[in-house]
Amino acid sequence: MSRPPTIAEVRVEDLAVPLLEPFSISLSTLHATANLLVRVVLDDGTEGIGEAAPWKELTGETQEGARAALARAGELMVGKPATGFRALSGALREALPADTSARAGAEAALLDALTRHLGLPLHAFFGGVSDAVETDLTIPIVPPARAGARASEIAADGFHAIKIKVGNDLAEDVERLAAIAAAAPRVDLIVDANQGYTVEEAMAFLMEAHARGIALALFEQPVAKDDLDGMRQIRAATEVPVAADESSATREDALEVVKHGAADLLNIKLMKCGGPVEALDIASIARAAGLGLMIGGMVETRLGMNTSLHLACGLGGFGFVDLDTHLLLAEDPFEGGFTQEGPRMAVGAAPGAGVRLR
């Protein structure tokens, strides 16, 4: 075998893409991405790219902070062998513990570069379980009539699952849910409160949905991320599976969720955990504990979604896939990577992650 390639350069640039319409969840509203594009160049000239998507309310990072973290990450990475990605991931975690999306972008770019160098598709590197999954589509916090109209379109486009953002106003949330259920009666409904409810409100929401004959496929992060006992109480009171999202950022968090019996399922996001290496650790914890897996993202472009898609396809076992934010954007600065028909997202056979800047 030839000498392993070393990392020659890490470069960062802004990745600002306007959204088709403002995206509101219980914690904040986004009008455009304020993400970063990370390029990792190997000494043989191979270049890999990755996306960092800091979101103050969700990852605790700003774009400026993530840019500074990536400058530091570059210092740690340059000169190191690209094959030592796991050691590098550990070093970045130690040096930049809170800069999770920055680390995720650096790690994604490194693994893209390494697998391009090896001539191996990224999903094969992760285990090659499958080459396609189906995603849901998300309806943010919008008035019920608008949500119903959107649900009709989503169902007509062939999607089998809709994720509904709730957690601001219980009465309006129920009306939004009812409008969506009426407009898309055969679609699985996932609700995500993004920590917006108290335990009592979450219970009331579930009872109201039940009373209206609306079946829910999943209830994501009903209460505050640290309220693991509250999560367990809700689980005990309903047949609807409960997913930990904000409660489960890192592998330590995942273990706490397991210990508290706080969820049926863990939602893994690369921007939250720091990248693919830690995502693999979290997936192992979930599997060992008999918990299901979901994959999602922040508001990311095709580049970020594609990394997560390769992970989900390669590793397998993701019963819920929420990789739809590229569809919220008014522009797509990238090409390649996955192809999509309705909900079905298929990774390609190109080496690496396969995405290029247009």
Q: Which one among 107, 131, 245, 300 touches Mn ion, defined by CB under 5 A?
A: 245
| Residues 234, 204 contacting (CB under 8 angstroms) | no
Distances (CA, A) of 196 to 71, 221, 223: 35, 8, 6
**CB-wise, 43 or 57, nearer to Mn ion?**
57
Applying CB under 5 A, the span of 184-192, 229-237, 252-260, 280-288 interacting with Mn ion comes to: 184-192
192 binds Mn ion, rule: CB under 5 A: yes
**CB-wise, 267 or 306, nearer to Mn ion?**
267
Residues 6 or more apart in contact with residue 255 via CB below 8 angstroms:
285
Tell me the site size for Mn ion, rule CB under 5 A. 3
| Residues 28, 34 contacting (CB under 8 angstroms) | no
300 binds Mn ion, rule: CB under 5 A: no
**CB-wise, 185 or 319, nearer to Mn ion?**
319
Answer left, alpha or beta for residue 138, where phi above 0 means left and psi between -120 and 50 means alpha: beta
| Residues 303, 109 contacting (CB under 8 angstroms) | no
**CB-wise, 192 or 300, nearer to Mn ion?**
192
324 binds Mn ion, rule: CB under 5 A: no
Q: Are β-strands 292-295 and 265-268 bridged in parallel, bridged antiparallel, or unpaired?
A: parallel
Give the Cα separation of 26 and 167 in Å (integer). Answer: 6
Q: Which one among 61, 99, 107, 220 touches Mn ion, defined by CB under 5 A?
A: 220
**CB-wise, 22 or 79, nearer to Mn ion?**
22
Applying CB under 5 A, the span of 3-11, 112-120, 175-183, 188-196 interacting with Mn ion comes to: 188-196
Q: In the bound complex, what is the minimum distance in angstroms from residue 76's beta carbon to Mn ion?
A: 30
Give the Cα separation of 151 and 145 in Å (integer). Answer: 10
Where on the chain is the footprint of Mn ion (CB under 5 A)?
Answer: 192, 220, 245
